[in-house]
Amino acid sequence: MRKLILLPVLAALLLAAPSALAATKTVSITKSGFVPNAVTIDQGDSITWTNSDDRNRQPVSQSAGFAAPILKPGETFTFTFKSEGTFTVRDALVANQASRVTVTKAAPVGSPSLAASRRTLIYGGSVVLTGKVPNGQAGEKVTLRAEVLTPAGTRQTSAVSEANTTADGAFRFVHVPTAQTTYTVAWQATPATPMASDSLTVTVAPRIGLGVVRKLVGRRVVLSTKATSAISYRGHSVLVQRRTRFGEWVSVKRVVLRGGPFATRTTVRLPKGLSRIRVLMPKSQAGTGYVAGVSRTLLIVR
């Protein structure tokens, strides 16, 4: 009879196990705002806000779908984030105070977690990849694998780096992707059980340069521009754009690039007064493995 009683108890414990893995982070609401004002958690984790000010506060988030009751000094409110994404949390009682909560997709039980410092970058930039192994142990070997989308449209996979975990099973990699790259982290949970994280894709935009060579009469301006990535852009085109007073970007000229290390020069005629100018390379011209690229914005007075 005792065995029959123990079986339902054991089943209940097994069903409760995943929720026991959830964590709770704390955020203080002070006179100066939310501390910390940016928090990253796993899907299913919670955040507890504490009113550390001497007046009433009320954290709310339209994107996450919650509104806390008004918190008197010292009171707390806890919310569980069940969906992945980035959410803005504001104080409904104090203007211009907000924080950001990033919820990453929960890794399968027994797999390493993996997060990126950014998901899109300009060619030549680096991305920081961080995560933890489930056992939380230091000295665990993890391998970063990268699958690069090549100009031919194929995918090339390789192990790019190895590292040992630090305290709490944390690891960190810094990598410079040359084109769209999908990352995973492999960890040998046991000699017979390799585990891999969920995949994470980082996109890359060409680096677009823009400069003023000289100003000519008649409100004409000679500009120089170039595009740089792991492929040649000789014969590809970019668009010189001007921002209107309504905030829209309109194309004023299409420029075919020379390619190579040299910038391409072009002359445009601008309206009288201040113009905001940029150069855009559409995705159709950026090439396989790249997203659209855009230059810095120049302010030119004519």
Q: Give the CATH number of domain 23-104; options: 2.30.30.100, 3.40.50.10300, 2.60.40.420, 1.20.1250.20.
A: 2.60.40.420
Q: Which of 88-92, 102-106, 137-141, 173-177 has the lowest mean pLDDT?
A: 102-106
The share of the chain scoring above pLDDT 90, in percent, equals: 80
SS3 of 46-94: the string is EEEEEECCCCCECEEECCCCEECCCECCCCEEEEECCCCEEEEEEECCC
Regarding predicted confidence, which is higher, 245 or 18?
A: 245
Confidence of residue 11 (pLDDT cuts 50, 70, 90): very low
Query: How much is the average pLDDT of 118-128?
Result: 97
pLDDT value of position 42: 87
288, amino acid identity: T
Measured between alpha carbons, how far is 69 from 38 in angstroms, rounded to an integer?
A: 22
Secondary structure (3-state) at 219: helix
φ, ψ of residue 2 in degrees (nearest 5): -65, -35
Place of tokens 């100009």: 151
Residue 287, pLDDT > 60, answer: yes
Q: How many CA atoms lie within 13 A of 77 on its CB side?
A: 20
Residue 250, pLDDT > 70, answer: yes
Q: Specify whether the backbone of 90 is left (phi greater than 0), alpha (psi in -120 to 50) or beta.
A: beta
Measured between alpha carbons, how far is 139 from 147 in angstroms, rounded to an integer?
A: 26
Chain segment 92-121, per-residue pLDDT in tens: 999 999 999 999 876 556 889 999 999 999
* CA pseudo-torsion sign 72, 73, 74, 77: positive
pLDDT value of position 106: 65
115-204: CATH topology: Immunoglobulin-like (2.60.40)
Domains of the chain, residue spans: 23-104, 115-204, 206-301
Secondary structure (3-state) at 134: coil
pLDDT value of position 188: 85
Residue 13, pLDDT > 80, answer: no
Residue 8, pLDDT > 60, answer: no
Measured between alpha carbons, how far is 80 from 19 in angstroms, rounded to an integer?
A: 11
pLDDT value of position 105: 75
Measured between alpha carbons, how far is 30 from 32 in angstroms, rounded to an integer?
A: 5
Query: How much is the average pLDDT of 242-246?
Result: 94
Whole-number mean pLDDT of the chain? 90
Chain segment 54-100, per-residue pLDDT in tens: 999 999 999 999 999 999 999 999 999 999 899 999 999 999 999 99
Question: Residue 153: which residues within 8 A CB-CB, separation 6 or more?
Answer: 288
Measured between alpha carbons, how far is 285 from 283 in angstroms, rounded to an integer?
A: 5
How many Cβ atoms are within 10 Å of 285's Cβ, its own excluded?
21
Domains 23-104 and 206-301 in one fold: no
85-91/76-80 β-pairing: unpaired
Measured between alpha carbons, how far is 131 from 114 in angstroms, rounded to an integer?
A: 5
Q: What is the pTM of this model?
A: 0.64
Whether CATH 1.10.510.10 fits 206-301: no
